[in-house]
């Protein structure tokens, strides 16, 4: 290629030395030349953008250095407090690094989005920015499985690790409480208050509004017997009323499962509560239920110490005193014929089943001859019962202070 051709191909002007046509290799077709021009323009724009970016970064570094210099030669503590936030804002990222430290409680509510959760975490100082948490959630397909509740996290932790802790049930704070069979309502609400941290007064207030608890009409506003014994897990801030409502709902569900119609629920629970209070062994429960039904059929008073203990709300000793048995109350089965007006405790499934299907038999009496082991003797007449009572009195003599 001669110098004339070189000049023409670069500068686009004809050579003074003649009008000889350029060689084919020195000329681009119109289409390819246009594409190259566009490519070169985009490359120049990209280089300009990068150059501007480097210029901005350089400016930030300059500002940081100037601020740092100001901190050194400025006005001491005032300069540090006034200018240091500017330094950190220019140099820090949008997310913390590592697992953080300390303990922080954060609530996640039903329906919260990753943006809402991220904002709550940022406010609590768990993550640095809500955006960083949103990014972590967007990259994890499991992020939609975060459950409502109160979680224990750490201060200043990475968004990725914070998300992992929110997805772990171990970090979700719940109050777990087991209500055993046979407890009175007064004992149940005390256990609930101790387990959940709710004031006892909140439960007492909730009991004064029985209609809000979902009780059936037959209960006559009395929750006794309808707080089903089971293990419950309550999240923080769940109200006392909601906890009691959950237990009532559980009782009605169990009754329905056992085939108890709403109009029979009150009587079944009343008999079952007596069975729960009187029998320890599973095999004795249907027999106790039979004694109750046999005595009712004959018009005999039930004469049960457990109903009298319910009136006094006292536990600790086996049997009752003459003074306690003389108390006038519809629950005193020594003075009032028939069943008490409602349950005397919260019975479990075995006692409800016993009330529904008593064991066939002629028994009219029973007594626990050994309250420690629960051994119970049944009799068909007063003479047989008297013999069993002697065994009970012998146990009392060997266990002073327990009767």
Residue range 22-32, pLDDT digits in tens: 333 333 334 44
The least confident of 159-163, 247-251, 358-362, 381-385 is: 159-163
Tracing tokens 């290799």 back to the chain, one arrives at 25
How far is residue 165's CA from residue 152's CA, in Å, rounded to a whole number?
8
pLDDT at 377: 97
* Percent of the chain whose predicted confidence (pLDDT) is above 90: 62
Buried b (16+ CB within 10 A) or exposed e, 6-27: eebeeeeeeeeeeeeebeeeee
Query: What percentage of the chain reaches a pLDDT higher than 70?
Result: 77
Cβ atoms within 10 Å of 398's Cβ, excluding its own: 9
pLDDT grade, residue 37 (50/70/90)? low
pLDDT of residue 145: 87
Task: Report how far residue 334's alpha carbon sits from residue 211's, in angstroms, rounded to the nearest whole number.
Answer: 32
Ordered by start, the domain boundaries in the chain are: 45-91, 101-173, 175-257, 272-403
Of 81-90, 188-197, 368-377, 393-402, the one with minimum mean pLDDT is 81-90
Region 147-154 average pLDDT: 85
**Residue 82: its pLDDT value, please?**
52
> Checking DSSP bridges between strand 231-234 and strand 365-370, what pairing results, if any?
unpaired
Query: Per mean pLDDT, which of 12-21, 59-68, 139-148 is the most reliable?
Result: 139-148
Give the model confidence (pLDDT) of 205-243 as tens digits. 999 999 899 999 999 999 999 999 999 988 877 899 999
pLDDT of residue 175: 82
Residue that wins the pLDDT comparison between 47 and 106 = 106
Look at 37 and 32; give whichever has higher pLDDT: 37
Write down the pLDDT at residue 5.
Answer: 32
Q: Provide the CATH number for the domain formed by 101-173 in this structure.
A: 3.30.1490.480
Question: What does the pLDDT look like over 151-210, one tens digit per residue?
Answer: 889 999 999 999 999 998 888 888 889 999 999 999 999 999 999 888 999 999 999 999
Quick: pLDDT tens for 66-109: 555 555 455 544 444 555 454 444 445 899 999 999 998 888 87
Q: What pLDDT is recorded for position 24?
A: 36
Give yes or no for residue 55 having a pLDDT over 80: no
Q: Annotate 203-243 with DSSP letters as a single string.
A: HHHHHT-GGGGT--GGGTT--TT-S--SEEEE-TT--HHHH
Q: Return the H-helix or E-strand segment holding 237.
A: none
Are residues 310 and 345 in contact, defined by beta-carbon separation less than 8 angstroms? yes
């Amino acid at each position: 290629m001669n110098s004339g051709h070189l000049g023409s191909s670069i500068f686009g002007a004809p050579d003074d030395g003649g009008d000889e046509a350029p060689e084919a290799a020195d000329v681009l077709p119109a289409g390819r030349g246009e594409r190259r021009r566009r490519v070169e323009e985009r490359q120049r724009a990209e280089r300009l953008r990068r150059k501007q970016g480097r210029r901005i970064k350089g400016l930030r570094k300059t500002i940081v250095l100037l601020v740092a210099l100001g901190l050194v030669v400025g006005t001491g503590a005032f300069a540090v407090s006034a200018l240091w936030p500017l330094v950190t804002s220019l140099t820090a990222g949008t997310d913390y690094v590592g697992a953080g430290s300390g303990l922080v409680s954060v609530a996640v509510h039903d329906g919260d989005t990753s943006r809402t959760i991220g904002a709550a975490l940022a406010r609590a100082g768990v993550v640095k920015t809500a955006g960083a948490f949103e990014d972590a959630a967007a990259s994890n397909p499991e992020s939609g499985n975060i459950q409502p509740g109160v979680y224990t996290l750490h201060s200043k932790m990475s968004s990725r690790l914070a998300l992992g802790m929110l997805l772990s049930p171990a970090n979700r704070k719940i109050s777990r409480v087991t209500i055993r069979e046979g407890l009175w309502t007064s004992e149940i609400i005390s256990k609930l208050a101790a387990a959940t941290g709710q004031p006892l007064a909140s439960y007492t207030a909730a009991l004064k509004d029985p209609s809000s608890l979902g009780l059936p009409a037959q209960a006559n506003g009395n929750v006794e017997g309808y707080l089903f014994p089971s293990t419950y897990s309550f999240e923080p801030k769940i109200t006392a009323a909601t906890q009691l409502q959950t237990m009532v709902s559980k009782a009605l569900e169990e009754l329905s499962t056992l085939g108890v119609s709403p109009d029979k629920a009150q009587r079944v629970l009343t008999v079952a509560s007596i069975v729960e209070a009187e029998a320890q062994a599973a095999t004795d429960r249907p027999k106790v239920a039979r004694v109750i039904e046999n005595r009712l059929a004959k018009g005999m008073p039930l004469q049960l110490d457990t109903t009298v203990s319910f009136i006094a709300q006292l536990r600790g000793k086996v049997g009752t005193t003459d003074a306690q048995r003389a108390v006038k109350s519809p629950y005193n089965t020594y003075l009032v014929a028939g069943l008490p007006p409602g349950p005397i405790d919260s019975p479990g499934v075995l006692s409800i089943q016993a009330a529904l299907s008593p064991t066939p038999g002629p028994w009219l009496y029973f007594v626990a001859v050994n309250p420690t082991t629960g051994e119970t003797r049944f009799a068909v007449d007063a003479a047989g019962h008297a013999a069993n009572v002697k065994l009970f009195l012998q146990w009392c003599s060997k266990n002073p202070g327990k009767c």
